[in-house]
Structure 1
Amino acid sequence: MHKKRFVDPFFPNRPVDDPDRFSGREIQVDEVADSLFQIANSNPKHTIITGDRGMGKSSLLLQTRMLATGDNRLVNKLDIDIGYDAFNYIIAWHDANYDQTPEHIVSGLLRDLEGNISKLFGKFNLELDLYGLKVGSSVQKEKTVADLVNDFCDIIKKSYKAVIDGKKQGIILFIDELDRVRPDSGIATFFKLATEKLSREGIKKVGFFCAGITGAIQKLEVDHGSVFRTFRDVPIPRLTKSETSDILSTGFCGVGFTFDRIVLDAVFELSSGFPEPVHILGSEMLSEASSKQITIETFNKAKKRVVTDVKKNKLKSLLEKAGYGKYQKILEAMAKYEGPYVPLDFISRHIGYDQKQFSTNISNLIERETITRVDKGVYAFVDPLLKEYIRNFGIINIKDNVDNDEQ
């Protein structure tokens, strides 16, 4: 008998856009709600959501966007007071990318803002002419960051009047993947000068909300030393055991499945607090289950399928990106450690090198986003499933690269 088809309640490959399926993060949701409240009261709290890659930053940023435009389902579920019946901001959104400059980001935001204002108040033309590049023109003129700030603030002032006259609370500008922008691009200087100029000119119901990996705001200090004071940092920690259990139990129960408690413990131990493995394992367990009961055997089958099939190519690519020689030996040592958080002295004993002899390799693995530093002398895989991949397939042994420590 075939299993009845159902809508997968897990989201392994995209941000969570359903407040009813967004689990945990109560402290962080309260903080972004407070930032929105402060902006509505002319006390702008520009905010950046930070965390390790795959920690759910984009999900929280998306939930903030929904909250800013009047969707209270998440704050109602968490019993968080927002100070209003609902927020009613005009918003704009831009996804940053590696090759983008501050001009690209500002242009993207303002084009989205123009469209969103037009949807509510009829045709609205912001006369976008940033950095000398008009729509349909191939002529581009170099401008300084200061010029860009002046152009941006002039356009925001025009938008601001229409928004406030239209009984909206203000304007929220969302930028996801901010860490992709080069620190020396001038983006930090733009944020610092633009926020100060808007505040100085009384345009105080405008706020930036960004998301980027841990350390993104610190890297921006390369461009402007005081940018840290511009943003309120909302760090997203790893999922707790109860948050992991909540994601799984909500998903399983939502489609009529029961489960053994040991499954929740096993997923938490394997996922190391990262949301993506929780969602992908939850999804695969539903596929592997032969009945409406999720057991530890179901978990083991799902784990094997994820590592040897579903994510095999991605995990292989991660391993290749790490480098060879000592890099592979370090990862092999980490995979052999029973717990998720691996002490440096364990790695040292396994590979037979003094810690000083592979400190550069550790730094490079962090830079390449293969591992992350949990605490002083303690490390973990950025993707916990890479540990299982190495246990199944081993490391890459290329004789010519055994001593090439800097590849």
Structure 2
Amino acid sequence: MEALAKTKEERLSILSKVFSPSSPITTSDFFFGRIEQLSNICDAINERGQHAILFGERGVGKTSLANKMTESFTNLFPVIVTCNRKDTFNNIWLQALGKVQHSTTTKGIGFKPSEIEHFINLGTYLNPKSENFQSDIIKILNNYKQYTFLFIFDEFDNIINDKTREDFADLIKSFSDNITNSTIVLVGIADDIESLIGNHQSLERCLKQVKMPRMSKKECEEIIDNGLAALDIKISIKVKEKIIEFASGFPHYVHLMCKYGAHEIIKNNKFEFSQVYLNIAIKKGIENTNEQLKSSYRKAIVGTQKWQDIIFACAQSPIDNYNCINKMDIIKNYNIIAGSNVSGGTISYNLKQFCSTDRGNVLTKIGSGINTRYRFTNPMMRAFVKLKLNSN
């Protein structure tokens, strides 16, 4: 017996769950890809004395993966704490243990008293002014060896206090030596782990490094195919590949275009994601992009058409393993876009200016001389520029 078709209201209700560009995916039903990274975290949890650090560029889905961890690993108690700039080491761990509750029962007073159940969080056992705060954490968790805990500290890059980072490094080493029922996972924006936790070589043996790369084409396809299938929407291979190309490996932009395209499709009671709806999605996606990105872009292109053509050329150029762009590729693409035949010296001034505040700091220069490369300062700018290029 065929299932009944979903109503417009049902499809719109599902839409906000399957495509979520503004906030991380919170349910595993609509989280796709990242199997390798999830497996690496699982290995750390299952290995005694091992912890993990998940790092990568902004917008590659680290927080969504952190949420996925809380549902994927069974027989443990997961805790997520989102760090901010004002947090101290003690404050963060008070938050973490404060999210772990256990119940105790006491007998009431009187003839045939009934038992009364109380809920207590482990944070109540911590004294924030204790001189042995780290030892106190270990002691508390060792009192609950019958449980397995997973402590995830998201947006760890927000912590700018060196002492707080050093305390975390020391605690991870102590956990590795003294606790068997708890795993710490640090999550943050960084090119390498030193940027997050500092240069602590002694952590190498107990801290598994898990880099979160940009999404592969296959992973982007999973988001598109599964999300649209839940909305009874079909999409051609050509349109799907355009979405993947524009997104540049960032799940945020896959979700952004699919959400606005699908919303228009459902609103018109249609069931096919055609080029017409992709054009609408591009326009809506640009309108709903982070204001900081839009502001930097406006500063970059103010003036003659040449500024815009060069930034378009940068977005169209291939990137290396470090997400950097070769100057010769920029020149080649600029000549195609502008219909010209210029050499490197003609645009060197423009590229230098793109690295300045006056031009929005859209690029960062890497290296010098023949080894000069350029990288988008905000990696998500590349995807935004591609949308602008295809919106004209």
Correspondence for 1:4: 8
Q: 1:104 aligns with which of 87, 91, 104?
A: 91
Q: Describe the SS at the equivalent of 1:123.
A: strand
Amino acid at match of 2:164: I
Q: 1:24 is matched by which residue type in structure 2? A: G
| 1:90-169 mapped onto 2 (5 Å cutoff) | 90-113=77-100, 116-118=101-103, 122-124=118-120, 126=122, 127-132=124-129, 147=131, 150-162=132-144, 164=145, 167-168=146-147
Amino acid at match of 1:89: L
In structure 2, the partner of 1:189 is 166
Relative to structure 1, the CA distance from residue 335 to residue 227 in structure 2 (aligned partners, 3 Å threshold; closer, same or farther) is farther
- After superposition, the Cα gap between the structure-2 partners of 1:49 and 1:108, relative to the gap in structure 1 and judged at 3 Å, is same
Partner of 2:37: 28
Question: What is aligned with 1:345?
Answer: 328
TM-score, scaled relative to structure 2: 0.74
Q: Determine whether 1:171 maps to 2:149.
A: yes
Deviations 1:109-136 (A, max 9, x none): 12223xx33499953364455442xxxx
Partners of 2:300 and 2:362 within 8 A in 1: no
CA deviation after TM superposition for structure 1 residue 223, in Å: 6.4
Q: Distance in 2 between matches of 1:329 and 1:260?
A: 35
Match of 1:270 in 2: 246
1:58-87, Cα deviation, whole Å (9 max, x unpaired): 11111112223x2xxxxxxxxxxxxxxxxx
Write the mapping of 1:295-314 to structure 2, written as runs, cut at 5 A: 295-307=274-286, 309-311=287-289, 313-314=291-292
User: Matched residues in 1 for 2:359 and 2:205: separation?
Assistant: 30
Partner in structure 2 of residue 333 of structure 1: 310
Which runs of structure 2 are paired with 1:59-70 in the superposition (5 Å)?
Answer: 59-68=64-73, 70=74
Q: Distance in 2 between matches of 1:363 and 1:296?
A: 37
DSSP-derived class of the 2:79 partner: strand
Q: Is the 8 A contact 1:329 1:351 kept in 2?
A: no
Change (3 A) 1:365 1:210: farther
Shift of 1:31: 1.0
Q: What secondary structure sits across from 1:384 in the alignment?
A: helix
Return the alpha-carbon distance in structure 1 between the equivalents of residues 365 and 46 of structure 2: 34
Amino acid at match of 2:224: L
Asked whether the equivalents of residues 53 and 208 of structure 2 are also in contact (C-alpha less than 8 Å), the reply is yes
Task: Tell me, in whole angstroms, the C-alpha distance in 2 between the residues paired with 1:123 and 1:131.
Answer: 21
Deviations 1:167-197 (A, max 9, x none): 42x2221100001111x42233212321333
Residue pair 2:57, 2:189 contacting (<8 A) in 1 also: yes
**Alignment length (residue pairs):** 342
Partner of 1:377: 373
**Deviation, structure 1 residue 242:** 1.6
**What's the Cα RMSD here?**
3.9
2:252 aligned with 1:252: no
Amino acid at match of 2:8: K
Residue 89 (structure 1) shift: 1.6
The residue aligned with 1:75 is none
Paired residue type of 1:109: A
Q: 2:273 aligns with which of 285, 291, 294?
A: 294
1:208 aligned partner: 184
1: CA distance, partners of 2:172 / 2:279 = 51
Q: 2:260 aligns with which of 269, 284, 291?
A: 284
**1:253-284 deviation digits (Å, cap 9, x = unpaired):** 11111111111110111011110000010111
Change (3 A) 1:125 1:300: closer
Deviation (angstroms), 1:90 = 2.3
Cα distance change of structure 1 residues 180 and 227 upon mapping to structure 2, 3 Å threshold = farther
Which SS does the other structure have where 1:198 is aligned? Answer: helix
Question: Which residue in the other structure is 1:387 paired with?
Answer: 385
Q: Which has the higher strand share?
A: 2
User: In the alignment, which residue of structure 2 is the partner of 1:54?
Assistant: 59
Looking at structure 2, the residues matched to 228 and 369 of structure 1 have their Cα atoms a distance apart, in angstroms, of 34
In the alignment, structure 1 segments of 5+ residues that lack a partner are 71-87, 133-142, 395-407
- 1:92 and 1:112 in contact (8 A); partners too: yes
Aligned letter for 1:55?
V
CA separation in 1, counterparts of 2:359 and 2:55? 20
Identity, % of aligned pairs? 21
2:76 corresponds in structure 1 to 89
Q: Partners in 1 of 2:77 and 2:252 — Cα distance?
A: 31
Shift of 1:335: 1.8
The partner residue of 1:361 within 347, 355, 366 is: 355
Alpha-carbon contact 1:55-1:274 (below 8 Å) kept:
yes
Equivalent positions of 1:213-252 (< 5 A) are 213-215=189-191, 217-220=193-196, 222=198, 224=200, 226-252=202-228
